Amino acid sequence: MAAITTDQHGHGGHGDPNVDYLHVSKGIWSWIYTLDHKRIGILYLVSVITFFIVAGLAALLVRIELFTPGRTIVDPDTYNRLFTLHGVVMVFLFIIPAIPASLGNFVLPMMLGAKDVAFPRLNLLSYYIYLLGSCFAIYSLISGAVDTGWTFYTPYSTTTNGAVIAMVLGAFIAGFSSILTGVNFITTIHKLRAPGLTWSRLPLFLWAIYATSILQVLATPVLAITLLLLMLERTFGIGIFDPHKGGDPVLFQHFFWFYSHPAVYIMILPGMGIINELISTFSHRKIMGYRAVFISSLALALFSFLVWAHHMFTSGMSEYANMVFSALTFLVAIPSGVKVFNWTGTLYKASIWAASPMLYALAFLFQFCIGGLTGLFLGMLATDIHLHDTYFVVAHFHYVMVGSTVFAFWGGLHYWWPKITGKMYDEGTAKKVFWIVFVGYNGVFLPQFVLGSRGMPRRYYDYLPQFEFLHKVSTMFSWVLAVGLFWMLFMFIQSLRNGKKAPRNPWNSAGYEWGTPTPPPLENFTSPPTFTRGPYDYHLATDAEIAED
């Protein structure tokens, strides 16, 4: 694309292939003003990890409060603010931007053989809009926080005290960042593919990012409308959701889930995309049923618009609406199943290297099975009625969001870390950390399925003595998980300080992004690439391409 020229980057650099993007310019301003997708990816990465730590600490406090029945460390009101903080920050400031805007930003142009995204300035603007949204969220936390839960259900959210408007405004603003990133990525994938990169060779991670971007562009405006109406309702009492003025509180739920259900796929699809890259690289073969896998990504994106009211089976909407949404919800099981079968099938007769990123991919497969299959209980009307708003739902979505998406994020972070930083991390430590994280994570959430089936409702500050044992187990494993994650953070910091220099292609991958030098130069490739094989065609890749250097 002629639109991308070197002077657009404004670094004064000319893409000197001998200088990597980390050293092409220096100083804080070269980061603040950067138009390089790789540096913007890193800005996002640092931000989302910061918010992950904040929201994770809130979760730890929530778990400690639940360690014993009655008051353990905080009073009920503070507890409500803590779980709201955990939910809002994790959803809007961590998991939605986590994969597409950080890792996606970094590798997308490289996987396309492009110098940058289609609109580098828009890319930087997206980041600053995200940061502005975050500021409002932080302001809300400082000025009294919010006790509504991340779902902001009316009329609770319009009548409670606290800085609801600032928090909602934060999510509203962050949404625009999401829309702009989506527009940018869709354009880039359509227009900036290198010669030879046909749609049928497009890396599956990019198919996932593509489906995600469509969701971001189409669904996020509905969130914006909903949150705007909520702010108007709270400020001026317009009454659209207030039953005393003829409004309908259930309407808010429809609006909210019309975005927030597709948002679940905004979270999970990029994770699934990473898993394709990991399984292919570490099995040294193409993902089985490449076509079925990308079609299932698009199918999930489509279905995600049709199932929002399955969050509302007990809300009082008509039985026949429940029927339709239950039937549509079961459609989701088909493409999800196809993906799992294809990933598992890829391992058959492969050449597998169980390096640390692959361990996260394998854990993903196991946990996604649990997260997906427990979805059957919730899609089915009769069983959902019992399980709705209990810990079963909490465990289910944490298996999809954390056990799947966040494990994929960690796997992707390990996988691309050498490309991003030019440094290796300690593989032995990484494997130990993986096992601690894996055991800790499953120990936190498996007991919550049982709690939910036994009738323990969610968002409870206190509980009956019969639930105490499983809450204790869950809380104790949360400490194991925390130890694992802090060790992971420490491991990455150690790698930055004194990690070994990373070779071009440490994982012997045939993926396009590994064809660039490590770390890549400003314009990614030393000369404009032409692709003559697919990113997973290990049988066609030469030994030199697969080699470390």
Q: Scanning residues 202 to 231, which ones bind other proteins (CB under 8 A)?
A: none
List 347, 424, 476, 489, residue binding other proteins (CB under 8 A): 347
144 interacts with other proteins by CB under 8 A: no
How far, in Å, are 9, 117, 137, 189, 528 from residue 193 at the CA level? 19, 10, 37, 6, 11
* Contacts of 359 by beta carbon, 8 Å cutoff, 6+ apart: 411, 431, 434, 438
Structure tokens at 7: 């002077």
187 interacts with other proteins by CB under 8 A: no
Quick one: which segment of 54-62, 215-223, 487-495, 533-541 binds other proteins (CB under 8 A)?
Answer: 533-541
Contacts with other proteins in 53-72 (CB under 8 A)? Answer: 69-71
* Contacts of 342 by beta carbon, 8 Å cutoff, 6+ apart: 287, 288, 289, 292, 293
239 interacts with other proteins by CB under 8 A: no
List 218, 240, 338, 483, residue binding other proteins (CB under 8 A): 338
Per the listing, tokens 């949204």 go with 133
Quick one: which segment of 232-240, 384-392, 408-416, 486-494 binds other proteins (CB under 8 A)?
Answer: 384-392
Give phi and psi for 36, each to the nearest 5: -75, 125
Position 71, amino acid: R
Quick one: which segment of 212-220, 222-230, 340-348, 397-405 binds other proteins (CB under 8 A)?
Answer: 340-348
Q: Are 431 and 385 in contact (CB under 8 A)?
A: no
Quick one: which segment of 74-82, 108-116, 418-426, 437-445 binds other proteins (CB under 8 A)?
Answer: 74-82
Given the complex with other proteins, which of 10 and 454 has the nearer CB atom? 454
CA atoms within 13 Å, Cβ hemisphere of 253: 16
Q: How far apart are CA 140 and CA 451, in angstroms?
A: 32
341 interacts with other proteins by CB under 8 A: yes
Quick one: which segment of 96-104, 114-122, 124-132, 241-249 binds other proteins (CB under 8 A)?
Answer: 241-249
Q: Is the dihedral of CA 489, 493, 494, 500 positive or negative?
A: positive
Distance in Å, CB of 384 to other proteins, minimum: 8
Q: Is 20 helix (H, G, I), strand (E, B) or coil?
A: strand
337 interacts with other proteins by CB under 8 A: yes
- Torsion, Cα of 207, 212, 216, 219 (10° steps): 110
Q: How far apart are CA 513 and CA 37, in angstroms?
A: 14
Secondary structure string (H, E, C) spanning 37-54: HHHHHHHHHHHHHHHHHH
Per the listing, tokens 């800005």 go with 43
Q: How far apart are CA 393 and CA 371, in angstroms?
A: 10
Distance in Å, CB of 380 to other proteins, minimum: 3
Distance in Å, CB of 360 to other proteins, minimum: 13
Neighbours of 245 (CB within 10 A): 11
Quick one: which segment of 29-37, 115-123, 177-185, 310-318 binds other proteins (CB under 8 A)?
Answer: 310-318
Given the complex with other proteins, which of 60 and 369 has the nearer CB atom? 369
List 51, 205, 259, 377, residue binding other proteins (CB under 8 A): 377
Contacts with other proteins in 472-531 (CB under 8 A)? Answer: 508
Distance in Å, CB of 235 to other proteins, minimum: 19
Given the complex with other proteins, which of 155 and 519 has the nearer CB atom? 155
Given the complex with other proteins, which of 267 and 288 has the nearer CB atom? 288
36 interacts with other proteins by CB under 8 A: no
Contacts with other proteins in 76-95 (CB under 8 A)? Answer: 76-77, 79-80
Given the complex with other proteins, which of 431 and 539 has the nearer CB atom? 539
Q: Is 451 helix (H, G, I), strand (E, B) or coil?
A: helix
Distance in Å, CB of 334 to other proteins, minimum: 6
Strands of 65-190 (E only): list them. none
Q: How far apart are CA 144 and CA 160, in angstroms?
A: 12
Contacts with other proteins in 315-334 (CB under 8 A)? Answer: 315-316, 319, 322-323, 326-327, 330-331, 333-334
List 73, 135, 376, 496, residue binding other proteins (CB under 8 A): 376
Given the complex with other proteins, which of 130 and 360 has the nearer CB atom? 360
544 interacts with other proteins by CB under 8 A: no
List 31, 33, 139, 460, residue binding other proteins (CB under 8 A): 460
Given the complex with other proteins, which of 128 and 341 has the nearer CB atom? 341
Distance in Å, CB of 464 to other proteins, minimum: 6
Contacts with other proteins in 276-305 (CB under 8 A)? Answer: 283-289, 292
Q: How far apart are CA 549 and CA 506, in angstroms?
A: 8
Contacts with other proteins in 351-370 (CB under 8 A)? Answer: 351-354, 362, 365-366, 369-370
DSSP β-bridge partners for residue 390: 457
Q: How far apart are CA 122 and CA 120, in angstroms?
A: 5
Task: Determine the size of the site formed for other proteins (CB under 8 A).
Answer: 96
DSSP β-bridge partners for residue 20: 521
Q: How far apart are CA 425 and CA 423, in angstroms?
A: 7
List 244, 527, 544, 549, residue binding other proteins (CB under 8 A): 244
Q: Are 216 and 149 in contact (CB under 8 A)?
A: no
Q: Is 521 helix (H, G, I), strand (E, B) or coil?
A: strand
List 136, 265, 425, 461, residue binding other proteins (CB under 8 A): 461
